[in-house]
Amino acid sequence: MYRLLGISVASLLACSALHAATISHGNSHGPAPTDWDPAQTLSLQQFDPLMGTLNAVTFQFSGTVRSDFTTSNKANRAATAQSNLRGSVRFVLPTLDDALLTLSASQTTPLAGKSTATYSIEDTETGTLMLDSDLDAFIGTGMFDLGVFALATSATSGPGSINGFVFSYATVSASVTYDYTAAPQQSSPVPEPASLALVGIALAAAGFARRRA
C-alpha cells in the first residue's frame, strides 16, 4: 500500500481577503475667551489612500460654553438675580453644510443686601454628520481644516439694584472616522514551475494510490 504525504495547494497560493475597517483622528481647542470671529482652526488628518478604499466619513462635534458671572446687589434688601447663558458654536466643513450647536442654560441666584456672588454656568452640545460621496477633500497624506466660530451673549438681570459682569469661554472638539475597505495584503509569491510540478506529481500519486487500493 502506498502512503501519500499531502501537499496543501492552498498554502502555496494563499492571499488575503478584503475586509472593512475604521480609523479615527481628533483635535480640540480651548477653553479660550469668546467671541471667536474670525474663526479658530481645527486641523484633522486626511485618509491615506494606501490604506485602501474610502467608503464614508463621519464627523463628531462637541462644543461647550462656560460663562463666569460676578453679580452684585447694591441695595440694602435681598434680591434675586437671573443669569442666562446663551451661546453657539458653528463648525465649517469642506463639502458639507455647517454644523451649528446652540447652547443655553439659566440660573437664579439669591443675593443678600450689599452682597456680591461669583458663579459659573456651563452648557455642552454634540452633533454628528456623515458623508458617503464627494470624499476627495478628505483623501491624501496631509491635513484638512475645519473653521470654528464660538459666540456668547450671556447676561444677568434683576431689580435695579442688581448689576455685574460676565466673561465667557468656549471649548470645542472634532473627530473624523474613516470607514474604508482595507487594501489587500501583498499576495504570496507565485510558485515556481518546479513547485507546481511537485503539486501535479502529488495529485497524480494520490489518484494512483486510490486505484491500487
Confidence of residue 16 (pLDDT cuts 50, 70, 90): very low
Which comes out higher in pLDDT, residue 70 or 197?
Answer: 70
Question: How high does pLDDT run on average in the chain?
Answer: 86
User: CA-to-CA distance for 177 and 145, rounded, in angstroms?
Assistant: 15
pLDDT value of residue 201: 55
Domain for residue 1, yes or no?
Answer: no
d(CA 143, CA 174): 14
* CA dist., res. 178 & res. 52, Å (int): 11
The region that residue 146 occupies, defined by phi over 0 for left and psi between -120 and 50 for alpha, beta otherwise, is beta
Q: Please determine, for residue 189, whether its predicted confidence score (pLDDT) is greater than 90.
A: no
Is residue 38 one of the residues assigned to a domain? yes
160 touches 27 (CB < 8 A): no
- 108, three cell numbers: 437664579
For residue 62, with 0-12 CB atoms within 10 Å meaning exposed, 13-18 middle and 19 or more buried, which class applies?
Answer: middle
Distance (Å, rounded) from C-alpha 96 to C-alpha 113? Answer: 53
DSSP assignment, residue 34? S
| Residue 144 structural domain | 16-206
Q: How many CB atoms lie within 10 A of CB 27?
A: 17
pLDDT value, residue 6 = 40
Quote the CA–CA distance of 125 and 101 in Å, as a whole number: 6
Work out the average pLDDT over 165-193: 85
> What DSSP letter does each residue of 162-187 carry, written as one string?
EEEEEEEEEEEEEEEEEEEEEPPPPP
- How many folded domains does the chain comprise? 1
Lowest pLDDT segment from 1-5, 24-28, 117-121, 173-177: 1-5
Answer yes or no: is 7 within a domain. Answer: no
Q: Is residue 11 part of a domain?
A: no
> Is 149 part of a structural domain of the chain?
yes
Q: Which residues contact 154 (CB under 8 A, 6 or more apart)?
A: 65, 67, 69, 83, 84, 85, 86, 87, 121, 166, 168
Spatial separation of the C-alpha atoms in residues 189 and 12, rounded to whole Å: 8
183 occurs within a structural domain:
yes
* Inside any domain, residue 213: no
Report pLDDT for 185: 76
Greater confidence, 81 or 18? Answer: 81
The answer as to whether 8 is a domain residue is no
